[in-house]
Amino acid sequence: MGKYVIAGNWKMNKTPAEAKVLIDEIKPLVADATCDVIVGVPFVDLHVALEATAGTNIGVAAQNCHWAESGAFTAEISAGMLKEMGVGYVIIGHSERRQYFGETDQTVNKRVRAALDAGLTVILCVGEYLEQREQGVTAEVCAMQTKIALCGVSAEEMSRIIVAYEPVWAIGTGRTATAEQANEVCAQIRDVVKGLYNADVAAALTVQYGGSMNAGNAAELLAQSDVDGGLIGGASLKAADFAVIVKAAK
Ligand code: 13P
C-alpha cells in the first residue's frame, strides 16, 4: 500500500515561539523515523517551522490555501506563496473548514487544483458526520468528497495527493473509529481512486486515518491493511505522544 505518512495538524495552536520549542522537542524523537513526518502549522508559524526543520526529516504543511494565484481576497494565502516559502504540503478540505468556514466540495477541488499547480503535495481530508454514518451513507459521502476533490487531477499528479479519512464524529471527541471502521473506509477510498485512475495509482496512494488518534491507539489503527498513516490533531501538540505515533508507523 502507500508510503506511511504521519502528519500533525496543529490547528489554531502554538505561537511562532511555541512552535519552535515544540519542533525542537520533536526533532530528536523522530530523527530515525521510517515513515514521512510532517507538521501542519498555522500560517504565522510557517517561517519558524521551516527554519527549525531545515536539514531534518520533518516536512512542513500549511493548513489551507486559496485557489487564485493572487488578487482581492483579503486575508487569504495562495499556494504559490506557500511554495516560494519552501512549504511542501498543504492540508485541504479539513472538516473544520467545511463546518465553520463554508468550504464546499467545489472549493476544495479548486484549492486542490491550485496547490498541485504550485507544486505542493496535498493532504486531502474527507469524512462523514455521525448522522451520515447512522444513515448508512458513509461510503457514499466519502466517495463523493473524494471524487469531486480530485476532478481534473491527473494520474501523474496523484503521487502528490494524500487522502486523510477523518470521520467528523471522531475529531477532537476522544471517540476514535475502531480499527475495523477506519480500515473499511480507507479501503473504500482506495477503491474509489482505483475506479478513477487504475490499480497502480490506488496501491501507491497514502490513505491516512485521523480522529482522536493517539499514542495509545495508533499502533492498532496503523496495523490495518489500508491505513497508511495518520493525521493527528491534539496528540501532535505533545512531542512524546507524536513520537510514539511516528514509531508505530512501520
Ligand atoms: P484530533 O486528533 O484532535 O481528534 O484531530 C484530528 C484532526 O482533525 C486532524 O486533522
Residue 2: pLDDT over 90: no
Which tens digit of pLDDT belongs to each residue from 119-149?
A: 999 999 999 999 999 999 999 999 999 999 9
Which tens digit of pLDDT belongs to each residue from 177-204?
A: 899 999 999 999 999 999 999 999 999 9
Range of lowest pLDDT (1-5, 74-78, 88-92, 228-232): 1-5
What span, in angstroms and rounded, lies between the C-alpha atoms of 234 and 157?
30
- Predicted model pTM: 0.98
Ligand 1 centre from 70 Cα, in Å?
30
Per-residue CA distances from 205 to 15, 106, 123, 162, 166 (Å): 33, 22, 11, 7, 16
Is 94 annotated in the active site? yes
Q: In sequence order, what are the beta bridge partners of 207? A: 163
Q: In sequence order, what are the beta bridge partners of 39? A: 8, 60
Helices (H), the chain: 16-30, 46-53, 79-85, 95-100, 105-118, 130-134, 138-149, 179-196, 199-204, 218-222, 239-248
Q: What is the pLDDT of residue 59?
A: 98
Ligand 1 pocket test: pick from 166, 176, 217, 245 the residue with the most ligand atoms within 8 Å of its Cβ. Answer: 166
Mean pLDDT of 30-52: 98
